[in-house]
Chain A
Amino acid sequence: MKKNKINRRDSLKVIGLASLTATTSLVPGCKPAGEEQTTEDHAHHHDTASQQKGFKDLSEADQQLLKEKFFTEHEFKTVEVLSELIIPADERSGGASEAKAADFIEFMMKDQPVHQTKMRGGLKWIDYQCQKRFTKNFIDTSSEQQKEILDEIAYPEQAKPEMSQGVSWFNTLRDFVATGFFTSEIGIKDLEYMGNAANVWQGSPQKVLDKLGVSYDDDIEYA
Chain B
Amino acid sequence: MKMQTNNKTYDVCIVGSGAGGGMAAKILTEAGADVVMLEAGPFYDSAEGDMFKWPYNSPRRGAPTHRPFGEFDAAYGGWEIEGEPYTTTEGTEFGWFRSRMLGGRTNHWGRISLRFGPKDFKRKSIDGLGDDWPISYEDLKPYYDRVDKLVGVFGVNFDPSLGLENEPDGIFLPPPKPRAYELLVKKACEGMNVPVVPSRMSILTRAHNGRAACHYCSQCNRGCSTYSNFSSPPVLVNPALETGKLELVLNAMAREVLTDSEGLATGISYVSKEDGQEYQVKAKVVILAASACESARILLNSKSSRYPNGLANSSDLVGKYLMDSTGAGMAGIIPKMMDSIPYNEDGIGGMHLYMPWWLDNSKLDFPRGYHIEFGGGRRMPSYGFLGGVHKYNGKFSHRNGNERKNGGGGYGQQLKEDYRMFYGSVVGFAGRGEPVALKDNYCEIDPNVVDKWGIPVLRFHYKWGEYEKKQAKHMQDTFEEIIHRMGGFPLWEKPGKEDDYGLLAPGKIIHEVGTARMGKDAKDSVTNQFCQTHDVKNLFVNDGATFTSMADKNPTWTILALSMRASEYIIDQKKQMNI
Partner-B contacts on A (CB < 8 A) = 1-8, 11, 14-15, 18, 22, 51, 54-58, 62, 65-66, 85-88, 90, 103-104, 107-108, 111-112, 150-151, 154-158, 170-171, 174-175, 178-180, 182-185, 187-188, 190-205, 207-209, 211-216, 220-223
Contact = CB atoms under 8 A, between A and B. Distances in A.
Contact of B413 (A90, A107, A171, A223): A90
B415 interface: yes
Interface stretch (B231-239, B270-278, B307-315, B357-365): B231-239
Interface in B33-56: 43, 45, 47, 50, 52-56
A102 B88 CA distance: 40
B344 A4 contact: no
Nearest to B214: A201
B94 interface: no
Contact of B212 (A4, A155, A209): A4
Contact of B216 (A5, A171, A201, A222): A201
B26 to A, nearest CB: 13
Contacts of B154: 223
Given A193-B381, A201-B214, A214-B184, 19 more contacts: A3-B238, A4-B227, A7-B226, A56-B57, A62-B60, A65-B59, A86-B412, A111-B59, A157-B409, A170-B409, A179-B61, A179-B384, A182-B381, A188-B55, A199-B215, A207-B341, A222-B174, A223-B174, A223-B175
A180 B55 CA distance: 10
Interface string B322-353: 00000000000000110011111111100000
Contacts of A1: 43, 45, 233-234, 237-238, 241
Given A155-B409, A155-B410, A214-B184, A208 B63 contact: no
B574 interface: no
A156 B61 contact: no
Contacts of B206: 223
Contacts of A204: 177, 179-180, 343, 345
B187 interface: yes
Interface in B387-423: 387-390, 394, 406-413, 415-416, 419-420, 423
What DSSP secondary structure best describes chain A's contact surface? Answer: loop
Contact of A196 (B43, B59, B380, B383): B380
Interface of B: 43, 45, 47, 50, 52-63, 65, 154, 156, 173-181, 183-184, 186-187, 198, 205-206, 210-219, 225-227, 233-234, 237-238, 241, 336-337, 340-348, 378-390, 394, 406-413, 415-416, 419-420, 423
30 contacts: A1-B241, A3-B238, A4-B212, A5-B45, A11-B215, A14-B225, A54-B56, A86-B411, A150-B411, A157-B394, A157-B406, A174-B390, A175-B387, A175-B388, A182-B419, A183-B382, A185-B54, A192-B342, A193-B378, A195-B218, A195-B346, A195-B378, A196-B54, A196-B219, A197-B344, A204-B180, A211-B341, A215-B183, A223-B173, A223-B176
B215 A8 contact: yes
A18 B52 CA distance: 8
Contact of B409 (A57, A107, A156, A223): A156
Contacts of A66: 59
Given A156-B390, A220-B175, A196 B341 contact: no
A174 B409 contact: yes
Main secondary structure of the interface of B (DSSP, over half): loop
Nearest to A202: B177
A55 B59 contact: yes
B486 to A, nearest CB: 10
Contacts of A179: 61, 383-385, 387
A108 to B, nearest CB: 7
B54 A188 contact: yes
Given A174-B389, A187-B381, A103 B180 contact: no
Contacts of B216: 198-201
B56 A185 contact: yes
Nearest to B55: A183
Given A87-B415, A178-B387, A212-B181, A220 B226 contact: no
Contacts of B174: 221-223
A188 B381 CA distance: 7
Contacts of B47: 2, 5-6
Contact of B381 (A86, A104, A191): A191
Given A192-B342, A194-B344, A207-B341, A3 B234 contact: yes
A5 B348 CA distance: 21
Between A6, A112, A202, the greatest number of chain B beta carbons within 10 A of the residue's beta carbon is seen for A6
B539 to A, nearest CB: 29
User: Which residue, A201, A209, A216, has most C-beta atoms of chain B within 10 A?
Assistant: A201
A180 B344 CA distance: 22
Contacts of B407: 155-158
Contacts of B340: 208, 211
B52 A196 contact: yes
Nearest to B102: A1
A209 B180 contact: yes
